[in-house]
Structure 1
């Protein structure tokens, strides 16, 4: 078996992401990843035993990367989260092309589907926990902070999907309004606290 002396696992993962976006899931093979990375297929096998393992590692990596940005201070959480989401929201967004390619492929791969589901649940939970550090309670009675986490995550993914499908999607305006929505929700809480 080839030794990984030519490329690191991290660099190979980046090449695999590029390959997946460029070729699509149907033409995504360990051989194609090796070609993209300029290494032998044995090098790819050394790091990733199967295509499924590689896809699972890609899923985990993109989600870990996106959450690193939100692990900073609470005082600008909403603004940071919106800026982060907006920066990846475009017609040519590599991040979301990759993410939605993985989502589509997961419908035929139960293990990938399960891992994506777990990642989504952990994102929802993390969002809810971050909101709890900002809001003592939900700004709207009957909507739990857990539900807010799910709703926010869904809104961001939905906006990304629309931007991928519409060249003229109004990203700036939409994210300005999303930020305004969260400011108004915060104002609701402040009024009720007084």
Structure 2
């Protein structure tokens, strides 16, 4: 029996995530989410007019939860926690990155997807910049702003995820260990004042 229309948007997003993981993006429909949540399709349409809106809400939710969790760590743990969070979503079967890159590809011809994705990426960059500011204070390399560091780190994480999606035997553990070492080295440069 269908539940009344009192189900929240956040609860529907959780059911949508579960549906996406179980069925894959190819078989993901608003109807399948409604069935999993035990609500009518009208309830889904009340909160999300299109499948794309719901998929974007999933990406936004995952990103917000991740950055909230990372931001709650103290500055000393930020780097390790951020690396661990990125690594946890990085695999050959990563539902999050399959979804993210599918939406990116769709956005090239659809401004209704492109604009919200742009906002999500901008929010991620801002979170990185804020956390880097707390960690480093200023850039460890003169002439490279914290804004550029945020963009660069975001691009590195997405680039690693893309390679992991394409290569079944991609060395995720080793790659992220070395990325963490790279950023720790930049932090040491800043601490030693060798950035000039």
Using the size of structure 1 for normalisation, the TM-score is 0.86
Aligned to 2:149: 148
**Partner secondary structure for residue 76 of structure 1:** helix
Task: Give deviations 1:155-190, integer Å, cap 9, x for gaps.
Answer: 011111111111111111111101110111111112
Structure 1 unaligned blocks of 5 or more: none
Matched residue SS, 2:76: coil
Q: Tell me how far apart the structure 1 counterparts of residues 59 and 91 of structure 2 sit (CA, whole Å).
A: 20
Cα root mean square deviation, aligned = 2.2
Matches within 5 A, 1:30-109: 30-72=30-72, 73-109=74-110
Q: 1:179 to 1:23 in 2, by over 3 A?
A: closer
Q: Secondary structure at the match of 1:75?
A: helix
Give the 3 Å change call, closer, same or farther, for CA 101–15 of structure 1 in structure 2.
Answer: farther
1:139, 1:185 within 8 Å by CA — same for their partners in 2?
A: yes
Retained in 2: the 8 A contact 1:127–1:149?
Answer: yes
Q: Deviations over 1:14-61 (max 9, x none)?
A: 232344453436x54322332444432122223323334323322321
Aligned residue in 2 for 1:161: 162
Which runs of at least 4 in structure 1 moved beyond 6 Å after TM superposition? Answer: none
Indicate conservation of the 8 Å contact 2:140/2:189, yes or no: yes
Gaps of 5+ in 2: none
Q: Does 1:136 align with 2:133?
A: no
Say whether the 8 Å CA contact 1:30–1:41 is kept in structure 2: yes
Matched residue count: 190
Contact kept, 8 Å, 1:124 with 1:153, in 2: the verdict is: yes
Query: Where in structure 2 are the equivalents of 1:17-36 lying within 5 Å?
Result: 17-20=17-20, 22-24=23-25, 27-36=27-36
Tell me if 1:184 matches 2:185: yes
Partner of 1:172: 173
State how far apart, in whole Å, the 2-side matches of 1:71 and 1:143 are.
23
1:11 maps to 11
Mapped to 2, the partners of 1:107 and 1:28 lie a distance apart of 21
SS of equivalent to 1:121: helix
